[in-house]
Amino acid sequence: MFWCNELINGINTQFPQIINDSKTPSGRAHVGALRGVVIHDVIFRLLREKGVAVRYLYGVDDYDPLDELP
């Protein structure tokens, strides 16, 4: 299909896989902020489709250490 299939074919599927993503929202919302979510979701779905034990963890927090800088 595309590059995700090549990536998945290189994964040792005998072990459970974890896909971990997170977002620290800042600035205006825009469609580019969804890039990581979509990429990781596609990988997750293709692994699950192949019968691989996989978990997709996604976290959101508003802690940004750069907010404290003047």
Quick one: pLDDT at residue 56? Answer: 96
What would the pLDDT profile of 10-64 be if each residue is shown by its tens digit?
888 889 999 999 887 777 878 888 888 999 999 999 999 989 999 999 998 877 7
Task: Indicate left, alpha or beta for 52 from its phi (over 0: left) and psi (-120 to 50: alpha).
Answer: beta
pLDDT of residue 7: 83
Taken in order 36, 37, 41, 42, is the CA torsion positive or negative? negative
Question: How far apart are alpha carbons 43 and 7 in whole angstroms?
Answer: 9
Task: Give the residue extent of every domain in the chain.
Answer: 1-8+34-70
Beta-bridged to residue 56, according to DSSP, are 19
Predicted pLDDT at 19: 93
Q: How confident is the model at residue 1 (pLDDT cuts 50, 70, 90)?
A: low
